[in-house]
């Protein structure tokens, strides 16, 4: 099973939306091992409502916390500790889209960061970038961290409108492949997810074997 870990350059950059798009495009399964903040429902519930294909499966979280906090802090609030030993990917035949919590270096506990999940489950990392003041710095720092630590960076997704100068600064300086450019989407729905799934550069992904 091929695994893709979806992370972002920060919070609220559109990881869940991009995860739904990739799940649709690849007819993949979806898993968010750690969910923080459940007042408006879980990201698993949201993604399952956005995906149209009938092949994808949506697996339960390993850890689920009600407060929208960093995982280590949310766990501490409930007198729990997140253990990497419990982060075991579900079995299946489809590709697996794994959504992280927050950015790469959000702590899980006293020893591990969110990005360590990708290493543990041997997943390629897809980094979601969004255009805001400071996004060039955040993008390049994130990419640099991944490359310096020899983590498997699959590529980036540009989510929303990017000024050409901002886009080129990220792509050219980092020399990474762009998996998709998602325009600014007013309404996140099944229809928009299906439409944007056509923007994924499928040539960058292993194609299913035909019989």
* Residue tagged active-site, from 32, 46, 49, 110: 32
Do residues 121 and 111 lie in contact, with contact meaning Cβ atoms separated by under 8 Å?
no
| Residues whose CB falls within 8 Å of the CB of residue 132, separated by 6 or more in sequence, listed in order | none
| Known catalytic membership, residue 32 | yes
Cα-based torsion angle of the residue sequence 101, 107, 109, 114 in order, rounded to the nearest 10 degrees: 50
Do residues 37 and 70 lie in contact, with contact meaning Cβ atoms separated by under 8 Å?
no
Q: What tokens does 192 get?
A: 């928009």
Q: What tokens does 61 get?
A: 């979280």
**Catalytic positions, please?**
32
């Amino acid at each position: 099973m091929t695994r893709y870990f979806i992370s972002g350059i920060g919070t609220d950059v559109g990881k869940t939306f991009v995860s739904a798009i990739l799940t649709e495009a690849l007819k993949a399964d979806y898993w968010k091992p750690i969910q923080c903040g459940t007042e408006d429902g879980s990201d698993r519930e949201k993604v399952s409502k956005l995906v149209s294909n009938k092949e994808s499966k949506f697996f339960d979280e390993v850890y689920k916390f009600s407060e929208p906090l960093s995982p280590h802090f949310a766990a501490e609030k409930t007198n729990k500790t997140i253990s990497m030993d419990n982060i075991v990917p579900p079995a299946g035949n489809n590709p697996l889209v794994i959504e992280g919590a927050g950015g790469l270096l959000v702590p899980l506990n006293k020893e591990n960061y969110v990005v360590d999940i990708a290493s543990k489950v041997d997943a390629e990392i897809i980094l979601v970038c969004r255009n805001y003041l400071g996004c060039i710095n955040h993008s390049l720092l994130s990419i640099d961290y991944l490359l310096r630590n020899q983590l498997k960076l699959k590529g980036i997704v540009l989510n929303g409108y990017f000024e050409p100068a901002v886009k080129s600064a990220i792509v050219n300086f980092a020399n990474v492949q762009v998996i998709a450019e998602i325009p600014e989407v007013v309404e996140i729905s099944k229809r928009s997810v299906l439409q944007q799934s056509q923007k994924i550069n499928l040539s960058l992904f292993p194609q299913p074997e035909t019989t």
